Amino acid sequence: MKHKVLIGFMGSGKTSVSRILAESLGLGLLDTDEEIERLQGRTVSDIFAEDGEPAFRQMERELLMRLSLEKKPLVIATGGGLAAQPENRQLLKKLGDVIYLQVRPETVLSRLADDSSRPLLQGGGREEKVKTLLAIRQPAYEAAATCCVCTDGKSPRQIAEEIMERTKK
């Protein structure tokens, strides 16, 4: 079983690229944030506010374990923190191709300029938060990935095509 798993920072394009990829490859699509929201019946922001980040990370991990048992290949878009947790690395690699969507902090800031849905970017100092968190997570993303794609200046379709080219066997 070979899923195609998209990892990377908030605003790297995982959600939009995953939709194109799933459609082009004729595969099912699963977004970990959406699946957790569906299972919990509340938003990611509410889970962070009510239960805290560690509880959300545990939900992500449990979902990942469930996906490792899924027989049907899927395109999976992950939340930005999932692949940054070292304990998820082996499990991710077992799922199939793990594609890291690399993005510069400036691109994240412009893509998420009008977005207030990310609990980790609430309050002031957004530029500093993005730069610091991205720098901390970068090595973990690289270690979890089987393939890296640079996304700056590219459309979701261009990125999806590059992924198909790079992961076809």
- Give the angle subtended at the CA of 63 by the CAs of 167 and 89, to the nearest 5°: 55
Max Cα separation, the chain?
A: 45
Pick the binder of ligand S3P from 79, 96, 105, 156 (CB under 6 A).
79
Please report how close the Cβ of residue 114 comes to ligand S3P at its closest, in angstroms.
Answer: 14
Neighbouring C-beta atoms of residue 68, cutoff 10 Å:
15
**Amino acid identity for residue 19 in this structure:** R
- Which region among 22-30, 85-93, 117-125, 146-154 touches ligand S3P (by CB under 6 A)? 117-125
Considering only the stretches 22-30, 74-82, 89-97, 157-165, report the one whose residues sit in contact with ligand S3P under the rule CB under 6 A.
74-82
**Does residue 47 touch ligand S3P according to CB under 6 A?**
no
What CA–CA distance (Å, rounded) separates 35 from 45?
Answer: 14
Q: Could you tell me the CA-to-CA distances from 38 to 75, 83, 119 in Å, in that order?
A: 18, 21, 18
Among 119, 131, 140, 161, binds ligand S3P (CB under 6 A): 119
* Nearest-approach distance from CB 87 to ligand S3P, in angstroms: 15
Beta carbons of 158 and 24 less than 8 angstroms apart: no
Candidates 17-25, 62-70, 79-87, 97-105; binding stretch for ligand S3P (CB under 6 A): 79-87
Instruction: Kindly report the number of other CB atoms within 10 A of residue 53's CB atom.
Output: 12
* Minimum distance, C-beta of residue 168 to ligand S3P, in the bound complex (Å): 26
Binding site for ligand S3P (CB under 6 A): 10, 14, 33, 44, 79-81, 118-120
